Amino acid sequence: MTTLRTLFADTSGRSTVTIIAVLAVCAALCTVPFFVHNPYLLHIMILIFLSTIMGESWNILGGYTGQYSVGHAAYFGTGAYATMMMLQFRQVAPWYGVWVGLAAALVVALVIGSICFRLRGPYFVLASIAVAEILRLCTLNLPSFTNGAEGILATGLPPFTIGETVITDFSTKVPFYYIGLALALLTILVTWLVQHSKLGYFFQAIREDQDAAHSLGISLTLYKNIALVISAMLTSLAGSFYAIYVGFVDPPTVMALDISVQIVLICIIGGIGTIFGPVIGALVLVPLSEALRSNLIASLIFKIGLVSPDSKFGGFLNDNLAHAHTLIYGILVVIVILFMPDGILGFLKKLTARRKGGEA
Amino acid sequence: MAILEIKHVSKFFGGLAANADVSFALEQGMIMGLIGPNGAGKTTLFNCITGYYPPSKGEVLFDGRRMNGLQPNKVCKLGMARTWQKVRPLAKLSVLDNVMVGALCRTNSLKIAGELAMEQLKVVRLEQKARFPAGGLPIGERKKLEVARVLATQPKLLLLDEVMGGLNPAESAEIIQLILDIKGRGITQMVIEHDMKAIMRISDRIVVLNSGEKLAEGNPHEVVSNPDVIAAYLGQD
């Protein structure tokens, strides 16, 4: 426990302020379901939590250790499938199934790590994509094991009980809200612990210069695999949570390449290698993608009177803008990356630093 | 007793012999200078000794232990640390954090590592810059940071690859004093250097490499008066 004590002894005044702010935000978030009853708003919040979990998990491997995996769908899918298969095929409640998912993710991570960490830089990225695709194709083509392309539909969740008391029967979104919040906080806590320990130093040393790290006594294989395992297990948690929330998994929704890319984007947009970067990424990307998908942009254009909905162009926008949401989303992401290479958090930090510099 | 023995080490890249049958030994506490024209195989020899390349032939004994095939991290743990000709600061980390990474090789406690690191920063007189990002340091201070970082791994043997390269005379003088201070602490050193004046001053013994082979070995005075060495440096007519 000495390490934990030194952790807190090392905490500077600024960190204390951050901790208090985080606790206050958490307390506020806990009360949200008491006055927000709109299921769509809760759904958005749950998606933000889910994205935060995914982003924070990837961040440990990609942001801190500098190993840009674009195959995290493998772990997301592993968690989702393990939980769902235990639930539907073995009638095991998801809160036990999650552990199966974690164990499976651990095994998959060690296999992938032993293959991919022989490679560096772009070769590692390509290998991580390839291995995730192999896993997706296996899931798709082993129908006797995974139900193949049909996917698995949850026919119902058992109520969560402690003793005889029913805590929740999962009939509303509120229990999912709290689970998502708890998991998001867990991943943030894990990231914080990593950053403030020997692991954090070694991970970042590997990110900055592998050969230098190696010459300073850091075993590259060991510490890259530790980062991967932590990252994979947390991602698998996100997958399990997604599976029980949505109640359906199939290879394209939980194993596909766009999940991997989405995970990376959350970090890049928010700010890579920082504790709160992925939170900001999730806060920006989830509402943006929802707004584009549900045609809020077209409605906004009509509302401010830029184009009349009755005109020919207005009709075109109304019909097509929502369909083009991936295109617009992509363009916006490119713009953010071009103008804020360190992510939104890095950009804000630079702005405040410049302002401080200006005053002095 | 010899702390490091290099026995008939050769390293081939395809048909090219970067090191050919090099043998010499370092005594505990001494400073060994390793010199030679560009492309003589000095850095390759460092890489063979510290585990970055496996030697094609021959063996490296450190404290009587065979080092061939050991990974660089193991080599460092056993007490042999190196710096890089092209400095490799962990750019986004602070100066103190850079040195702490080295110190964490010997301890698990961040607090102890922080204290050890600060000590080393004082040794190289960089303690004022502890909180600066390492990527922003000028070259002279980067070289010092490199030395502080390897010192923090508490080595018995230090291999310095051109720590004075690219420095102005005042900075070089500081590094020379630093190397002598390190010797005073009982740490054995092997130094690659092009600055002949510096190498003559600090070295107890000098090995000259040329085209991968050992051309000469001896104390500084013997080496500079060796006709082969003069021919290698100035050319033959």
State CA B175 to chain mean position distance: 13
B202 sits in the region (left: phi over 0; alpha: psi -120 to 50; else beta) called alpha
Q: Kindly list the residues from chain A whose CB atom is less than 8 angstroms away from the CB atom of residue B76.
A: 215-217
Q: Which of B154, B179, B204 is the last residue of a domain?
A: B154
pLDDT digits (tens, 9 = 90+) for B75-84: 999 999 999 9
B223 and B128 in a common domain: no
Label residues A53-86 b or e (16+ Cβ within 10 Å = b).
bbbbbbbbbbbbbbbbbbbbbbbbbbbbbbbbbb
Q: What pairs with residue A356 in β-bridges?
A: none
B60 and B18 in a common domain: yes
Please check the confidence at residue A4 and state whether its pLDDT lies above 50: no
Say how many domains are in chain B.
2
pLDDT score of A13: 62
A249 sits in the region (left: phi over 0; alpha: psi -120 to 50; else beta) called beta
B160/A300: higher pLDDT: B160
B52 and B1 in a common domain: yes
B163 and B72 in a common domain: yes
* Nearest by CB: A216 against B92, B114, B153: B153
Q: What pairs with residue B210 in β-bridges?
A: B213
CATH of the domain at B235: 3.40.50.300
For A22-26, A47-51, B205-209, which range has the lowest pLDDT when averaged over its residues?
A22-26
Q: Would an 8 Å CB–CB cutoff place B155 in contact with chain A? A: no
Is B88's CB within 8 Å of A3's CB? no
B94 and B209 in a common domain: no
Please check the confidence at residue B235 and state whether its pLDDT lies above 50: yes
Q: Which residue in the block uniquely carries the two structure tokens 């021919």?
A: B231
B71 and B166 in a common domain: yes
A12 pLDDT band (50/70/90 cuts)?
low
Average pLDDT of span A148-154: 89
Cα angle, residue B49 at apex, residues B48 and B52 outer, rounded to 5°: 50
Please check the confidence at residue A104 and state whether its pLDDT lies above 80: yes
Please check the confidence at residue B209 and state whether its pLDDT lies above 60: yes
Average pLDDT of span B114-133: 92
B162 and B47 in a common domain: yes
B161 and B49 in a common domain: yes
Assigned domain for B148 exists: yes
Please check the confidence at residue A14 and state whether its pLDDT lies above 80: no
Q: How far apart, in whole angstroms, are the C-alpha atoms of residue A118 and residue A50?
A: 31
B119 and B86 in a common domain: yes
Q: How far apart, in whole angstroms, are the C-alpha atoms of residue A180 and residue B185?
A: 56
pLDDT digits (tens, 9 = 90+) for A269-286: 999 989 999 999 999 999
**Judged by CB atoms within 8 Å, which residues 273-292 of A form the interface with B?**
273
State CA A310 to chain mean position distance: 41
pLDDT digits (tens, 9 = 90+) for B14-54: 888 899 999 999 999 999 999 988 888 999 999 999 999 99
Label residues A316-352 b or e (16+ Cβ within 10 Å = b).
ebbeebbeebeebbeebbeebeeebebbbbbeeeeee
Q: What pairs with residue B208 in β-bridges?
A: B35, B216
pLDDT digits (tens, 9 = 90+) for A207-243: 999 999 999 999 999 999 999 999 999 999 999 999 9
pLDDT score of A5: 44
Nearest CA in chain B to A202: B101
Average pLDDT of span A174-187: 94
Average pLDDT of span A73-88: 95
Please check the confidence at residue B143 and state whether its pLDDT lies above 50: yes
Assigned domain for B182 exists: no
- Percent share of chain A, pLDDT over 90: 54
Domain range for B20 is 1-78+156-170+190-237
Selection from A100, A57, A61 nearest residue A80 by Cα: A100
State CA A325 to chain mean position distance: 21
B119/A360: higher pLDDT: B119
pLDDT digits (tens, 9 = 90+) for B85-120: 889 999 999 999 999 999 999 999 999 999 999 999
Q: Sign (positive/negative) of CA torsion B228, B232, B233, B237?
A: positive
Q: Which of B154, B182, B209 is the last residue of a domain?
A: B154
Q: At what angle do helices A325-339 and A257-270 cross, to 10 degrees?
A: 40
B233 pLDDT band (50/70/90 cuts)?
confident
State CA A237 to chain mean position distance: 10
Q: How far apart, in whole angstroms, are the C-alpha atoms of residue A115 and residue A108?
A: 11
Using CA atoms in the order A27, A32, A35, A40, what is the torsion angle rounded to 10 degrees?
Answer: 180
Assigned domain for B31 exists: yes
Selection from A150, A168, A358 nearest residue A251 by Cα: A150
B44 and B108 in a common domain: no
Please check the confidence at residue A295 and state whether its pLDDT lies above 80: no
pLDDT score of A10: 46
Q: Which residue in the block uniquely carries the two structure tokens 């500079």?
A: B224
Task: Return the HEC string of A14-46.
Answer: HHHHHHHHHHHHHHHHHHHHHHCCCHHHHHHHH
* Nearest by CB: B109 against A6, A209, A216: A6
pLDDT score of A319: 78
Q: Kindly list the residues from chain A whose CB atom is less than 8 angstroms away from the CB atom of residue B47.
A: none
A2 pLDDT band (50/70/90 cuts)?
very low
Q: How far apart, in whole angstroms, are the C-alpha atoms of residue A30 and residue A177?
A: 9
Assigned domain for B177 exists: no
Q: Kindly list the residues from chain B whose CB atom is less than 8 angstroms away from the CB atom of residue A205.
A: 90, 93, 101
- Percent share of chain B, pLDDT over 70: 99
Average pLDDT of span A26-51: 92
Backbone angles phi, psi at B31, to 5 degrees: -110, 120
pLDDT score of A242: 96
DSSP assignment of B140-166: HHHHHHHHHHHHTT--SEEEEESTTTT
Q: Would an 8 Å CB–CB cutoff place B105 in contact with chain A? A: yes
Q: Would an 8 Å CB–CB cutoff place A215 in contact with chain B? A: yes
pLDDT score of A7: 44
B contact test, residue of A4, A208, A211 with most B CBs within 10 A: A208
Q: How far apart, in whole angstroms, are the C-alpha atoms of residue B158 and residue B28?
A: 11
Q: How far apart, in whole angstroms, are the C-alpha atoms of residue A287 and residue A135?
A: 30
- Amino acid of residue A278: P
Cα angle, residue A344 at apex, residues A342 and A347 outer, rounded to 5°: 60
Complex ipTM, two decimals? 0.90
Q: At what angle do helices A257-270 and A121-141 cross, to 10 degrees?
A: 140
Is B101's CB within 8 Å of A10's CB? no
pLDDT score of A9: 45
B166 and B218 in a common domain: yes
State CA A56 to chain mean position distance: 6
B73 and B62 in a common domain: yes
Average pLDDT of span B128-151: 92
* Nearest by CB: A212 against B88, B97, B110: B88
Domain ranges of chain A: 48-276
For A56-65, A135-144, A160-169, B188-197, which range has the lowest pLDDT when averaged over its residues?
A160-169
